[in-house]
Amino acid sequence: MAATVASKRLLQEYKNLTNDPPDGITAGPVSEDDLFLWEALIQGPEGTPFEGGIFLAELKFPKDYPLAPPTMRFTCEMWHPNGAFLVMPTYFIHMETMSNTETYRSMRARPSTNTPLSVYPTGLVCISILHAPGDDPMHYEKASERWSPIQSVEKILISVMSMLAQPNDESPANVDCARMWRERRQEYERRVRECVRRGLGL
């Protein structure tokens, strides 16, 4: 029963995102056979070192969605205080896939031929809207900032885009990156721009 409710909700959200996508965001199921695994493309916000980049992410939804939030991870190179990291091959995505839903759904990132192994995010995006509903046991976040069933995939992705522009260095997933953002801002911005160039295969 819970899975049926979740499937209906996800299908409706997918239709909404397809018919009226937010600027700079494309998202949908990886396969029509599985509504619980999505891919998303997020454009880097203008006026930030992420500008010009396109960032691929994965969302996995629980069977009791929307009572519980999805998990989200970037699957492309990312240097950000609110991301976790590992080493894996470099990938890049073609810009035109952002404006073509059918191309996007069949798109898969392909290895870049001019870049070596690099540092990539592993998994969880650290942001309040993806945290379980209710009070924060650490008393850091307000319950209203955390997940609730009235939230949506669109709100998650908009929040993540905002996070790219304004990192939360008080609760970082990447401590080294947060320290660089606080203490050596120019170096942080240079490293982000390098990630963007590599992600575009430049």
Active site residues: 126
Tokens 């999505």 belong to which residue? 38
CA distance 164 to 144: 21
Q: Are 26 and 154 in contact (CB under 8 A)?
A: no
Q: Are 29 and 9 in contact (CB under 8 A)?
A: no
CA distance 53 to 79: 12
- Token pair in block for residue 32: 């029509």
